[in-house]
Amino acid sequence: MAEQKQINVALIGSKFMGRAHSNAYLKAPRFFDLPVEPVMHTIAARNREEVERFAKRWGWINASDDWKKVVADEAIDLVDIGVPNHMHREMAIAALEAGRHVACEKPLADTLDSAREMVAAAKKASGQKTFVWYNYRRCPALTLAHQLVKQGKLGRIYHVRGFYLQDWAGPDVPLLWRFQGDVAGSGSLGDLCAHSIDAARFVTGEEITEVSGAVMETFIKERKVIAGSAGGEISGSGAATAEQTAPSTVDDSSLFLARFSGGAVASFEATRLSTGDKNGNRIEVHGEKGAVRFDFERMAELQWYDATIEPAVQGWTTINVSNAGAGHPYAEAWWPTAHTIGYEHGFINQAADICRALGGEQPVAPLPDFEDAYQTQRVLAAVVESAKNRCPVSLDQIK
């Protein structure tokens, strides 16, 4: 049997997403038959001692504290960027100019201008592919929702509701980078609502054409500063004891209305202060023939309503999307029906689809590239403008 082709991966960033991506590259070739196998070649992060420990723990062959040197290494095929948003542009452009394929965490960038530069660099690239980690597209239930809409099962789309609710960012949480506008770009809008926007675009196959009624609010305007907390990640309550404070310059909550290219209307909501909600990532799509509902806290399930059958038996049906024999997305790689998968599997499924794309095969579901993710970035910019000026904003105005 011919030896399987390989791609050498370099990952930049060793925190929350560093662990999620490392696990994905480690597991994808063990569960999926792939045209190319990812080799965990190099992990890069700022702290040399920490990144060496990370490499040993997760199975990276090499460790580096110099991302520029890693990007320039001719041995690297794919550069994966898993660092705070304000660093995406420089790293992605450098990797593309060095001839590498690039995968990047979401949102695409901290600002629309930076995202635009990244798209331009991708268009100039000589055959390199780009990918963005909107990993919830790889949840089998959400992928099935996309497939049902594409098959016409919902008919004309009337209404979309997208909301992403968390409660971790109370007043005792210190000033992480996620609360700093010059690093993150935005708060709940870019961190959470970007997922909802992408999911809505993915499931419906339509683009948002107008944003209106946007509200963005920062409830906790000052947060405690702890040495080293700016680069930290969420860990438990993150309770702070230091007395020094600094401004939180991002939104804690955001809401807006929208119109889609097919005529549907939509509402979106995102917050880090929804008391009692831990990771309430939910979307509903309602059409003339049926409807679907997805809640990530019940990841394996898709709720389906068939309005075409006789009224006496109409009602919401819960589908456990884990049946390989029924053709459920990604199910053939995992466990017997109803043996549930979890958060990490969305990343593993995406790593597998990236390897398929790099190996000349079709992914199970469309992979967002820089141009695709830029469309979500445009919506984020329109929301900011609508909230600032208290007016509707056409996406034609956001180039």
Report d(CA 63, CA 11) in Å as an integer.
10
Residue 348 lies in a domain: no
Question: CA-CA-CA-CA torsion for 329, 334, 336, 341, nearest 10 degrees?
Answer: -90
Residue 250 lies in a domain: yes
Instruction: Answer positive or negative: Cα dihedral of 124, 42, 330, 342.
Output: negative
Residue 38 lies in a domain: yes
- The answer on 143 and 127 residing in a single domain is no
- The answer on 296 and 164 residing in a single domain is yes
- The answer on 159 and 144 residing in a single domain is yes
- The answer on 193 and 92 residing in a single domain is no
Report d(CA 338, CA 201) in Å as an integer.
28
For 290, the domain range is: 137-339+369-389
Q: Which of 81, 113, 132 is the last residue of a domain?
A: 132
pLDDT of residue 3: 54
247-242-272 Cα angle (round to 5): 50
Report d(CA 103, CA 132) in Å as an integer.
6
Query: What CATH number should be reported for the domain holding residue 17?
Result: 3.40.50.720
Query: What CATH number should be reported for the domain holding residue 275?
Result: 3.30.360.10
- The answer on 156 and 281 residing in a single domain is yes
- Reduced to 3 states, what is the DSSP secondary structure of residue 396? helix
- The answer on 240 and 163 residing in a single domain is yes
Residue 396 lies in a domain: no
Residue 397 lies in a domain: no
- The answer on 261 and 150 residing in a single domain is yes
Contact 74, 98 (CB under 8 A): no
pLDDT along the chain (399 residues), means of 10: 77 97 98 97 97 98 98 98 97 98 98 98 96 98 98 98 97 95 95 98 98 98 78 43 84 98 98 97 98 98 98 98 98 97 98 98 97 98 98 96
- The answer on 112 and 39 residing in a single domain is yes
β-strand partners of 270: 164, 254
Report d(CA 168, CA 273) in Å as an integer.
7
- The answer on 292 and 214 residing in a single domain is yes
Report d(CA 115, CA 121) in Å as an integer.
10
Q: Which of 100, 132, 164 is the last residue of a domain?
A: 132
Report d(CA 190, CA 212) in Å as an integer.
17
- The answer on 213 and 73 residing in a single domain is no
pLDDT of residue 226: 83
Number of structural domains the chain divides into: 2
Residue 249 lies in a domain: yes
- The answer on 207 and 99 residing in a single domain is no
Residue 350 lies in a domain: no
Q: Which of 93, 113, 132 is the last residue of a domain?
A: 132
Residue 173 lies in a domain: yes
Distances in whole angstroms, Cα of residue 38 to Cα of each of 11, 34, 105, 241, 291: 12, 9, 18, 43, 38
232-235-239 Cα angle (round to 5): 90
227: number of Cβ within 10 Å: 8
- The answer on 158 and 57 residing in a single domain is no
